[in-house]
Amino acid sequence: MTNQTSITEFLLAELSAVRELQILHFLTFLVLYLAAIIGNLLIISAVLFDHRLHKPMYFFLMNLAIQDLGTVSVLMPKSMANSLFKTRRITYSGCVAQVFWFLFFAASDFVLLTVMAYDRYIAIYNPLQYEMIMDRKACMQVIVVVWFSGLTLAVLHTSSTFATPFCSNVVNQFFCEISQLLKLYCSKDSLGCFGGVSSTGNLFL
Give residue-wise pLDDT tens across range 74-88.
999 998 888 888 888
pLDDT of residue 193: 45
Mean pLDDT, range 89-96, rounded to an integer: 92
pLDDT of residue 1: 37
What ranges do the domains of the chain cover? Answer: 4-182
pLDDT of residue 96: 94
Give residue-wise pLDDT tens across range 13-26.
887 778 888 899 89
For residue 186, CA distances in Å to 93, 179, 197, 199 come to: 19, 15, 11, 8
Do 62 and 47 meet the contact criterion of CB atoms below 8 Å apart? yes
Helix, strand, coil percentages (3-state) for the chain, rounded to 5, are 65, 5, 25
Return the closest-CA partner of residue 171 out of 45, 5, 9. Answer: 9
More confident residue, 7 or 188: 7
Give residue-wise pLDDT tens across range 46-81.
999 998 898 999 999 999 999 999 999 999 999 888
Average pLDDT of the chain is 86
Give residue-wise pLDDT tens across range 144-184.
999 999 999 999 999 999 988 888 889 988 889 998 998 98
pLDDT at 11 over 80: yes
pLDDT of residue 168: 87
Query: In which region does residue 86 sit, left (phi positive, over 0), alpha (psi from -120 to 50) or beta (all else)?
Result: left
pLDDT band at residue 201 using 50, 70 and 90 as cut-offs: very low
Q: Which CATH class is domain 4-182?
A: mainly alpha
